[in-house]
Amino acid sequence: VNIESALRDALQTGGLELVYQPIFDATGRFARVEALVRGRGDYLRKVGPGAFIPVAEESGLIVSLGRWVLEEACRQMADWRERNLPVFDFAVNISARQLVQADYTDSVLQTLERYGIPPALLHLELTETTLMGDFSAMARIMKRLSEAGVLFSIDDFGTGYSSLARLSELPISTLKIDRSFVMKLLESEAAVGIVRAIVNMSRHLRLEVVAEGVERPEHIKLLLALGCHKFQGFYLSRPLSPEALEAAAFAGD
Ligand code: G
Ligand code: G
Ligand code: MN
Ligand code: NA
C-alpha cells in the first residue's frame, strides 16, 4: 500500500471523515469551526493529513478530495442548522490547485446553494505559500467568490513571503498567525514582536486576526494584551468529531 492508492481508495469508499476544531472569541464562545480531514482506516489514520495532503496535492487527488471536504462540511453544517445547534461560521482548507480549477467558483457556490447555506458562513483558508502561484488568476477567482459573500483567511501567516502590497489586493478577511510564533511567545521576544507586528498590520488593513496553536492559558493572556481576540488551539479544544462538537456546543449554550 502507498499513500496515493490508499487515498484514491478512500475517496471511492467513504474512507475519509471530517473533524472540527473550534475557534473561540475573547468571551470564550465559538466564533467558528475549522473542518480538518482525517482518514478512517488504520493506514491513513496513521499517515495523517500532514503527510497525505501533500501527496494529494502532487498527485492531483486534492481536487476530488477538496470537493468531498466541502460537500461533507456543507452537509454537516446544514444538519446542524436544521437542528438549531449554536454553531456559526465554518472554515475549510483549500489548496492552490483547487482554486484554479476552471469550475471552482461555480462548484463552491452550487454546493452551498444545494445545502441552503449562505456563502457568508464559509471561510476558505489558503496558506501564504499557495499565493505564490499565478497571483492574478487566484486574485480573480477569489474576487468572484468574495463578491458572492465567501470569506478568505490566510492560514499559517508569517511563514511565507507575501508582501503587504499583494495582500491588500486580495479580498481577505482574516489572518491566522502561524502556531510556531504563538508557541514561542513565552520564551522569545522576537516571537512577541512578530505577533505584535501582525496584529498592528491587521488593524490597518482591517483584517480579523486569529492565533493558532494556543496551548497554554498564558498564551491567551499575552495575546489579548497584544490585541488578538480570536484563538484556536489544543488548550481550548482539540479537533472534535461531529458528536463531540455537538456536545460541546450544547453544553456552552
Ligand atoms: O489536521 P492537521 O493539523 O493534522 O492537518 C495537517 C495539515 O493538513 C494542515 O496543514 C492542514 O491545513 C491540512 N489539512 C487538513 N485538512 C485539510 C483539507 O481538507 N484540505 C487541505 N487542503 N488541507 C487540509
Ligand atoms: O495548517 P493548519 O493551520 O490548517 O493546521 C491545522 C492543524 O493544526 C490541525 O491538524 C490541528 O490538529 C493542528 N493544531 C490545532 N491546534 C493546535 C495546537 O494547539 N498545537 C499544535 N501543535 N497543533 C495544533
Ligand atoms: Mn487551516
Ligand atoms: Na490553521
Q: Residue 252: what pLDDT?
A: 57
Provide CATH code, domain 23-35+72-237+245-251: 3.20.20.450
Of ligand 1's atoms, which has the minimum distance to the CA of residue 62?
A: 22
| pLDDT, tens digit, 9 for 90 and up, residues 186-228 | 999 999 999 999 999 999 989 999 999 999 999 999 999 999 9
What value, to the nearest 5°, has the Cα angle with vertex 227 and ends 222 and 233?
Answer: 55
Q: Residue 84: what pLDDT?
A: 85
Which residue has a Cα nearest atom 9 of ligand 2?
36
What value, to the nearest 5°, has the Cα angle with vertex 171 and ends 126 and 229?
Answer: 70
69 lines ligand 1 (CB under 6 A): yes
72 lines ligand 2 (CB under 6 A): no
Cα(246) to ligand 1 centroid in Å equals: 21
95 lines ligand 2 (CB under 6 A): no
- Residue 213's nearest CA partner among 238, 189, 196, 194 is 238
Q: Specify the pTM.
A: 0.96
Low-confidence ranges of the chain (pLDDT < 70): 252-253
Query: What does the alpha-carbon distance between residue 144 and residue 185 come to, in Å, rounded to a whole number?
Result: 37
Collect all residues with Cβ–Cβ distance below 8 Å to 194 and sequence separation of at least 6.
158, 181
Specify the DSSP element, H or E, that contains 16: strand 16-25
